[in-house]
Structure 1
Amino acid sequence: MSAEELEREVDLLIRRVAHWEAPRWAAGAGTGDVSRAEVMHALVQRVADRAAGAEGEPHRRVPRLQNDLVLPDQLRVLAADLIAADPPPQVLAAVAADVVETRRVL
Structure 2
Amino acid sequence: GTKLKPEDKSKLLGKRSERPAYTELVDVWSAGVIAHYLVLGEHPFQTWDALLSGKLSMDEEKWMHLPLARRMVETALVPDEALRPSARQVLQAQWLPPPRRGGG
Normalised by the size of structure 2, how large is the TM-score? Answer: 0.36
Bigger Rg, structure 1 or 2: 2
- By relative contact order (CA 8 Å, sep 6+), the higher-ranking structure is 1
Q: Which has the higher helix share?
A: 1
